[in-house]
Amino acid sequence: MTSYAFVHLEFGNAHRDRSLKVLKALHAQLAGPGDTSMLVVVDNKQGTVADVSEPDFSTSIAIAGDNGNREFTGWDVGVAAVRAQAAEPDVWVFSNDTIALHHGWSQSRTARFAAEMRRLVGHGGPWLFGEIKEFPRSIATPFAPVLEFVQSYFFAMNGALREAMETLSPDQALLDAQVQPAFEPARRLFRGDVDKTFDALTSTWLLNDDPEATRRNSWTHAWHKAEPLSTANFDDLRMKARCCLSELLLTARARRLGADLRSPYDARTTRAHLQRSLQMIADKLWERRYLRQLGRSRV
């Protein structure tokens, strides 16, 4: 028997149905006879929290979150809600509402994620699972240097790693020490001791004020609210920069605790590498078509 905890973060419930459709499909592939599962929907938006009732899960609740460090403090509130009702689950699954807004999950992609997660259930050591991205070179962090990181729109870990990490959100004082405290025209978002490559990549993606960097890195998009830094948007962009750093530190902290990093597209042999590469291409093409259709439906 395996116990699962799904902690989903939203900011208002406008996209809940589409997000839960993805999570329920994944849950159907994961949970077997005798397994238990709990769904906690955390709403970080101020106001009344819309209730949730999902019979696919053993238990489902919706609660108010904590937007102090965006989704990371919200997920921590969700973890506390799970732990208030049950023992540490075997597997934690974390997501936010971009799972259905900026990503597309086909049936085959869902099955691939589920298959790798089921394989990891039997791994007693700490592990962190999700889609992995690489940096062009090693990035220094306050915890450890990293070459790659697990994307945090959707990720999973076992109870051993979650307990060792204690909280998903890094220390707030540590985050504040990495970003500028107030807007000044001559400064960007991060302080001078933040890794230059991470600063350049993140700031350009958030601020979208360097067309040459965008062209040089072949980027096709920026953050949906990206714009040049100003007094009006500084606080929002500063909080998003802290969140980007938290995503990077999640992987660095996990590695420091001895965690294995796993992706549904990992491969070690020539045949498996070719197969997984083709699968990743197929998933990304499906995602692109899905997002294009989603964009047209909003017009």
Domain harbouring 80, CATH code: 3.90.550
Asked if residue 276 is part of any domain, the answer here is yes
User: Rounded mean pLDDT of 190-200?
Assistant: 91
Mean pLDDT, the chain, rounded, equals 91
Domain that holds residue 38: 3-169+267-298
Give residue 251's pLDDT band: very low, low, confident or very high (50, 70, 90): very high
Asked if residue 111 is part of any domain, the answer here is yes
| CA atoms of 176 and 183, how far apart (whole Å) | 14
SS (H, E, C) 122-184: CCCCCEEEEEEEEEEEEECCCCCCEEEEEEEEEEEEEHHHHHHHCCCCCCHHHHHCCECCCCC
Asked if residue 217 is part of any domain, the answer here is yes
Given this model, what pLDDT does residue 267 score? 79
Beta-bridge partner residues of 5 = 38, 92
Residues 153, 7 share a domain: yes
Residues 142, 15 share a domain: yes
Asked if residue 96 is part of any domain, the answer here is yes
Residues 144, 287 share a domain: yes
Residues 291, 197 share a domain: no
Residues 210, 72 share a domain: no
Residues 22, 122 share a domain: yes
Given this model, what pLDDT does residue 12 score? 93
| CA atoms of 10 and 43, how far apart (whole Å) | 5
Residues 118, 165 share a domain: yes
Evaluate if residue 299 carries a pLDDT over 60.
Answer: no
Residues 186, 155 share a domain: no
Asked if residue 103 is part of any domain, the answer here is yes
Asked if residue 56 is part of any domain, the answer here is yes
Give residue 110's pLDDT band: very low, low, confident or very high (50, 70, 90): very high
Given this model, what pLDDT does residue 221 score? 65
Asked if residue 66 is part of any domain, the answer here is yes
* Strand runs labelled E in 11-90: 36-43, 59-64
Residues 233, 133 share a domain: no
Comparison of pLDDT for 28 and 266, the residue scoring more: 28
Reported as a single tens digit per residue, the pLDDT across 27-55 is 999 999 999 999 999 999 988 899 999 99
Asked if residue 258 is part of any domain, the answer here is no
Residues 48, 116 share a domain: yes
Residues 158, 273 share a domain: yes
237: Cα separation from own chain's centroid: 18
Residues 204, 117 share a domain: no
Total number of domains in the chain: 2
